[in-house]
Amino acid sequence: SGWPRIDNRKKNGREGFAGGTQLVLYKADLSALRRRLASIPSEQYDAAYQTEHNAYIGNRESVLERFKPGTKSFHLIFSGRDGHGVFEFPWYAKFADLLEPLLEDLLGEQTSHIMRAQFALMPAHTEIKMHADSGGYSSEGHRIHFVVQSNPDVHFQVCQHEDDCIRLNTEEGLVFELNNRLKVCL
């Protein structure tokens, strides 16, 4: 697509900040996506609802509660820990008309290489505790964030060590790559 990426060979804890923290790509108009997501009641993000109406990945509850308590999400695309075995979930179709143009702008013809896609709902006062992603999907892939909605009180940080952190820009409409092999928290 021509957009730059963080070098995966340097995207690890040993390189620290020198491997890159946040690569701001561009700003996008995500207002239509924001409206569509706003029409989904928060209960529809719950595991029971997703199990019945979309798909739900079990055995992740303890990890989510440990690192992202209070956060809800639903998946559109998901891979195994190694980045292989990629599945498109039924709800992808609900968002395809809005997502595919955004993804094609970002990835060009490489949209078939997407390993994971999800929407997260973070109610006020929730937090993402410090953690680093692991597994093949995180070392071989590129973690791109589309900031659909935010506010100035959101503090997303990436850290080399617990007390050595950089605050990231998370304004609405921002599209950026995050070095998820470093520790992140919100």
Task: Give tens-digit pLDDT for 30-53.
Answer: 999 999 999 999 999 999 999 999
**Whole-structure pTM value:** 0.90
* Contact indicator for 116, 147 with CB cutoff of 8 Å: no
Both tokens assigned to 92: 């992808």
The confidence score (pLDDT) of residue 155 equals 79
Task: Give tens-digit pLDDT for 76-100.
Answer: 999 988 989 999 999 999 999 999 9
Average model confidence (pLDDT) across the chain: 90
The confidence score (pLDDT) of residue 100 equals 95
Using alpha carbons, select from 42, 77, 74, 40 the residue that is nearest to residue 60: 74
